Amino acid sequence: MKILVTGGTGYVGSRLTNFLKKEGHDVSTLGKVSDADVNVDITNFDKVSKAVRNFDAVCHLAGKIGAKDSFEKPMEYFLVNSVGTLNVLEAARLADIKKIVFTSSLAVYGTPQYLPIDEKHPTNPKSPYGYSKLVAEELCRNYSELYGITITIARISYLYGPGQKNLLIPTIVSQLKEDKIVLSNLDFKLDYIFIDDVISALSKCLERDKSDVFNIGYGKSTSGKEIIDAFSKILGKKLNVEVTDPKKEDEQVMNIGKAKSALDWEPKISMEDGLRKIIETA
């Protein structure tokens, strides 16, 4: 299959591109960086339209991430995540591309009304980032219904893996050699999924011939304290941790039963195994 991966040089996109190439696919990357095969900003429709041609499928990963920053730059997030997705969809329609995989986020759900969160859970984002992804999802549904494009939406939970920056796990790793690890908060429980499991899920999404939406997570929540305990077990020593801003936060965990049954997929890498892989490559 000839596949275009937007955001193909990013953290997830580069790994997906390598995976798909190993599977025998002809893969090209699109992004606004010089090392992309096609150097194009997805907010520029004319350039996107010229670039999105002669492909069998598009994996649309390009976008801005991070709920916190989106409060300061809402227009930028909607332009890239919502309008950029519209540009990709319209370009694909004009090029008669009939298969798209779109990476969305757990953020579209907002504060959980029940746990675990399934795909029927109400969507009520609490950030411009979450809303920009939800708008993009609605555009995907519209193009699927009106133009017969098979579009699979993957709502991804809290992804982690080697080479990440700024998030909780990378922050811990960067301080492992220090006498004390300083963190703002450990009183939360989130659904963490290792990067390799995300890549295998997206590959499965590409095989779909019917539009749908799937939760892609581990299906189990892990607290910050449990992550610290896992690091301690791996390293064989107790870690000295200072928490500067302890506060109670909502638990978030996905119901991944639909993905398991319809995609024949399930996550295989436990938190301890994932953290071990991060330490080995740090």
164-181 average pLDDT score? 89
Contact 102, 137 (CB under 8 A): yes
**Domain at 2-159+192-217, CATH homologous superfamily:** NAD(P)-binding Rossmann-like Domain (3.40.50.720)
Amino acid 187: pLDDT: 83
pLDDT at position 166 over 90: no
Helix, strand, coil shares, percent, the chain, to 5 = 40, 20, 40
**Active-site residue, 114 included:** no
17-27 average pLDDT score? 98
Percent of the chain with pLDDT over 70: 100
Residue 215, judged by CB atoms within 10 A of its CB (0-12, 13-18, 19+), counts as: buried
User: For the whole model, what pTM was predicted?
Assistant: 0.96
12-29 average pLDDT score? 98
Q: Which of 11, 77, 114, 129 is catalytic?
A: 129
Using pLDDT thresholds of 50, 70 and 90, give the confidence band for residue 184: confident
12-21 average pLDDT score? 98
pLDDT digits (tens, 9 = 90+) for 65-121: 999 999 999 999 999 999 999 999 999 999 999 999 999 999 999 999 999 999 999
Least confident of 115-119, 202-206, 247-251: 247-251
pLDDT digits (tens, 9 = 90+) for 222-237: 999 999 999 999 999 9
Amino acid 209: pLDDT: 95
Using pLDDT thresholds of 50, 70 and 90, give the confidence band for residue 130: very high
Kindly give the interhelix angle for 271-281 and 224-235, rounded to the nearest 10 degrees. Answer: 60
pLDDT at position 165 over 90: no
**Secondary structure (3-state) at 99:** strand
Amino acid 58: pLDDT: 98
Q: At 148, phi and psi to the nearest 5?
A: 70, 25
* Distances in whole angstroms, Cα of residue 37 to Cα of each of 2, 29, 30, 80, 102: 14, 5, 6, 20, 20
